[in-house]
Structures are given as C-alpha cells and as structure tokens.
Amino acid sequence: MNQFPRVLISAPTALAKKYCFEEWLDNVMQLSYPNFNVVLFDNTNDGGKFTEYMNEYHKNNYNSEKFYAVKSLKINNFFSSSIIEKMCLSHNDCRKYMLHNNYDYLLHLETDVFPEKDVIEKLMFHKKKVVGAIYYRDEGLYRKPMIQKFIEPLPNHIKSINLEPNEDTCFIDGTLKKVSHVGLGCVLIENKVLKKIPFRFEKNIEMHPDTFFAEDCLRNAIPIYADTSLICRHENEDWGIYGINFK
C-alpha cells in the first residue's frame, strides 16, 4: 500500500488552451510526488475532438496510466451559457471526481500554469487545508501576482484587494502567508474542505468560482495560505476563442 496521500491533479480545460497543452502535460508528468493522477475535464463544444487529442498525445508519449481527459458535464444552451457557468461546472467535475474516488487532496492546477517539480511535496509540507503557489496574471505594466490580501474580514464576505504590480517584491519573501485569496491556478485543497464547499457562481454577477470559493472558505473558518517560495510560470493567453478576455 502506498504510504503517500493520494493526490488528484485536475482542472477544467478547453480548446482555447491547446497552445500549451503538450508542454503542460510534459511538465506535470515530471512532478516528483510519487502518488498522483491527472484528470482534465474538457468543456469544448467540439464533439470530443479535443478530449481525443489530449488522450492520444498522452498515449503516444507516456507509458503511464496517470493521465486521462474526459468530456465535462453537458449543459443546456451551451453557446448562450456564460463562460463562468461552464467553468464552474467543470470545477465541480474535478471536485466530484476527487471525492467519489477518495483522493486525499485536489491539486487544482490550471492548464496554463507550470509549477516546480516538487510543488506537491512543498505545499503538503505546510499541513494546511488550502495552500497555493504564486503565479502572475495580466500583462506588461499590469502584471501582478494572483493574490488578494485582507483589508478587513467581515462576517459574511471578504473585504480584500489585489496585490498591485509594485507590491510583489515586499510580499514574496519565501515565507508562508495567510491571504484572502490565492486563485485556483495551483492550489492544494484537502478532501474535507471540498466535502463541505462546492464551487459555485451566481447568474448576472461577473465573479468567478475562485472568488466564491475564497468567500466560502472564510464563512467556514478555513484559512487560505500562499507559499511565497513557490513561483509558477503562467503562460496565459486571452479567451479570444470566445471573444472575451478573462485573464
């Protein structure tokens, strides 16, 4: 019996992320943690072609059963549904798969984020319920860490702000820090947390499931931490395939 906790690496994906899929999978398959599997949930409306492509690439390049891609849940009115709704459904596919198969942790790793090979061990070392690595978002002068810091924790929601581009040099000092929000780019979440908290969204509100997840953690007295010694490369492109930029 493997003595290491079981980790599911999972995230939503779509044809919009094909530009870096092969590099992403190559990076993930080199992770040094000895007990993980990778399942991606594809919400592309293409009859399963992108799912087939991902599985074929893995089959042709790895002698492994660690990875497979599956079609995400089908939803009504696919083209009229919002990107946020589609993403939320796929986030919950990850959650449900993790719980149904009794994994100890979910490493939610977005398919354009590239962590160090020992990221799982380093995040697990902290023994926290929710702990993430740092990655940057936006471009040029606006590029900044995907971190929100507390201004004031209120009874029912978080009052917080994003780190500004010029704040990272003071914030990223190699220590573990409690934050209000670390995103879902590279975050290790304990099984017990996801039993209690599903991913969600609200119609007509342009807030992504990661923001609601952070607020729900606060309501359930589950602190979120950022390991500022772990910096991931983020190969983000805009959501041009949908005509919307949600970087």
43-70: buried (b, 16+ CB within 10 Å) or exposed (e) per residue? bbeeeeebbebbbebbeeeeeeeebebe
Three-class SS of residue 67?
strand
Q: Please give the model's pTM, rounded to 2 decimal places.
A: 0.89
Each residue's pLDDT tens digit, 48-89: 999 999 999 999 999 899 999 999 866 555 554 688 888 999
Domains and CATH numbers, the chain: 7-234 (3.90.550.10)
% of the chain residues with pLDDT over 90: 65
Model confidence at 167: pLDDT above 90:
no
What confidence score (pLDDT) does residue 156 get? Answer: 56
Question: What is the band of 245 on the pLDDT scale with cuts at 50, 70, 90?
Answer: very low
Q: How far apart are CA 4 and CA 55, in angstroms?
A: 26
CA distances in angstroms from 204 to 43, 115, 184, 243, listed in the order given: 21, 33, 21, 18
Distance of CA 136 to the CA centre of its chain: 13
Opening angle at CA 65, ends 61 and 69, nearest 5: 80
Amino acid at 42: D
Q: Which of 57-66, 153-162, 169-178 has the lowest mean pLDDT?
A: 153-162
Each residue's pLDDT tens digit, 195-208: 999 999 988 777 88
